[in-house]
Amino acid sequence: MSKFQDYYDDAERLAVKEGKTQQQICELLGISEKTISRWSKNGEWMRQRKEYLVSTKTGPIQKLEKRLIELLEDPEIDARKTDELYKIQLLIDRMKGGFDIKGATIEVMDRFTQYINRVEEDKEFVGKLAGHIHGFFEETRRG
């Protein structure tokens, strides 16, 4: 069997659903970065990733609602908790109203990455920056 048959589905899942960077996928699966880069481009993994994040926007709402309930059940509500309650409710309202914060942020960062690719000649720097952007979103997703 070829690498494609053995590892492609796993690599795609890691990129699209788990938000792993190409470098992380290379390390996890033992495949060259060139191969992962080609698969990502041909399979449009970045587009798939954005669509996946937008389609799963109810996940963050459920987490926020759970935290809201926890705060409301706490008998000792202080100013800090009141502020958190307000902010959580505001986020829930925005997200349920169709305002997709994560999707909009990803779109802006994608445009920024395209801009950097166009204006920056140091491709190693561009690769590192893209890795940091993906790492940031991974940290954000984990909460």
Note down the domain range covering 20.
3-55+101-142
CA dihedral 136, 18, 91, 102 (to 10 degrees): 60
Same domain, 17 and 75: no
Q: Given this model, what pLDDT does residue 2 score?
A: 66
The C-alpha atoms of residue 36 and residue 31 are separated, in whole angstroms, by 7
Same domain, 38 and 65: no
Same domain, 86 and 105: no
Per-residue pLDDT at 122 exceeds 80 = yes
Same domain, 65 and 76: yes
Residue 25's CB: how many other CB atoms inside 10 A? 26
Give the pTM. 0.42
Considering its fold, how many domains does the chain have in total? 2
Average pLDDT over residues 131-139: 77
Same domain, 77 and 133: no
Same domain, 9 and 31: yes
Q: What is the DSSP string of 1-41?
A: --HHHHHHHHHHHHHHTS---HHHHHHHHT--HHHHHHHHH
pLDDT tens-digit profile of 13-69? 889 888 889 998 988 888 999 999 999 999 999 888 877 776 655 567 777 888 888
